[in-house]
Amino acid sequence: MKFIKMIFLLLCVNLGFSQNTFSYLGTLILTNNTPISFSLELQEDNGIVNGYSITNINTADETKSEISGLYFEKDKSFQLQETQILQTESEAALNIFCYINMSLSFKGKFGTKDLEGTFTGNFLDSTECASGKVILMERTKLEKKIEKIKKKVEKKYNEKYQDTSLVKRTEILKDGDDFTINWEGNKLRLFIWDANMEDGDRIQIKINENIILDNFETTNKRKKIKFKLAEGENIIKIKATNLGTSPPNTSRIELVDNKTKYPIITQLKLGKTAIIKIIK
């Protein structure tokens, strides 16, 4: 009796080790290149596969179907078919649902376990309703990739916008005007461009009597300037060195201080100057 129990336990252990679970996410690609979101949740036990698929994920037509089939260890491939609808958000009649049959195998190098293959779809009367390719990736691996991309996008967004969350009222500076700003940071970021039609306007910019731009032609492309500020008062002078074809000389300027952005428009006659005073 003890011997029989031992054999039974060993069989149970072997059967337990033979079970594998698979969780994959990806897409069906129809022959007309239309993609359909698709996932597979499978359990394999000694070559017998059961589980479910979900198509049209997170849409009004999301459908969960029962899956059964076979796994062939020799060539690492699956033969799978949808056998019945388990749940659907679609309001379509069940007799017009397309049940798919798939031939899938593991693809990729260096131990990757992507699943790829082909599928055909059939109505309940066996009439073919679709065909195409299946491209799937392990769910955990795909979710990690999505999270990585999400973090990169968030990082770029934060780098671009973290210092410009507060936008002040636009100031218009004409001949001889000056504008004073109380500054928080140690650095100045200045953007200058022609926000209207490019007409050949040219300017000179001085910061603390250092010529930063000389006879510079403003265009619709933003020119970026970085400058380390001195303690106390810093003077920016914008001078019109020509009038272009449509006077006056007009430029759009943005000064960025940590989380604050100061928009400015200059409208200058030839040789005239507008002054911005930055108090640090």
Whether residue 145 is contained in a domain is answered as: no
What's the domain range around 177?
166-279
- Which residue in 254, 247, 199, 245 sits closest to 223, CA to CA? 254
Residue tagged 């967004």 (tokens): 157
**Mean pLDDT across the chain:** 86
Joined together, the tokens standing for residue 68 give: 């059964």
State whether 92 and 198 are in the same domain.
no
Whether residue 251 is contained in a domain is answered as: yes
CA distance 135 to 140: 15
CATH no. for residue 135?
Answer: 2.40.128.30
Residue tagged 């004409």 (tokens): 174
Structure confidence by residue, pLDDT tens digits, 226-267: 999 999 999 999 999 999 898 999 999 999 998 899 999 999
Whether residue 149 is contained in a domain is answered as: no
State whether 197 and 232 are in the same domain.
yes
Whether residue 78 is contained in a domain is answered as: yes
Q: What is residue 59's DSSP assignment?
A: S
Residue 113: what pLDDT?
A: 78
Backbone angles phi, psi at 56, to 5 degrees: 55, 55
Whether residue 6 is contained in a domain is answered as: no
DSSP-assigned letters across all residues of 150-208: HHHHHHHHHHHHTT-SEEPPPEEEETT-EEEEE--SSEEEEEEE--S-----EEEEEET
State whether 127 and 173 are in the same domain.
no
State whether 31 and 131 are in the same domain.
yes
State whether 134 and 171 are in the same domain.
no
Whether residue 156 is contained in a domain is answered as: no
* Helices vs. strands in the chain: H and E counts, helices first: 2, 19
CA distance 238 to 235: 10
State whether 117 and 195 are in the same domain.
no
**pLDDT confidence tier of residue 159, bands split at 50, 70 and 90:** low
Looking at 104, 139, 174, the residue that finishes a domain is: 139
State whether 197 and 117 are in the same domain.
no
Where does residue 127 rank: exposed (0-12), middle (13-18), buried (19+ CB within 10 A)? exposed
Q: What pTM does this model have?
A: 0.49
Strand partners, 104: 78, 117
Question: Mean pLDDT throughout 51-62?
Answer: 93
Whether residue 131 is contained in a domain is answered as: yes
Joined together, the tokens standing for residue 225 give: 């300037």
State whether 223 and 108 are in the same domain.
no
State whether 29 and 78 are in the same domain.
yes
Where does residue 240 rank: exposed (0-12), middle (13-18), buried (19+ CB within 10 A)? buried
CA distance 46 to 62: 31
Element (H, E) at 7: helix 2-18
Q: Is the pLDDT of residue 39 over 60?
A: yes
- Amino acid letter for position 80: L
CA distance 219 to 174: 20
Residue 110: what pLDDT?
A: 47
3-state secondary structure of 259: coil
CA terminus-to-terminus distance, the chain: 91
State whether 65 and 170 are in the same domain.
no
Structure confidence by residue, pLDDT tens digits, 98-123: 999 999 998 876 445 789 999 999 99
Structure confidence by residue, pLDDT tens digits, 197-236: 888 999 999 999 999 999 999 999 999 999 999 999 999 9
CATH no. for residue 196?
Answer: 2.60.60
State whether 129 and 178 are in the same domain.
no
Q: Structural domain tally of the chain?
A: 2
Whether residue 172 is contained in a domain is answered as: yes
Residue 38: what pLDDT?
A: 95
State whether 112 and 226 are in the same domain.
no
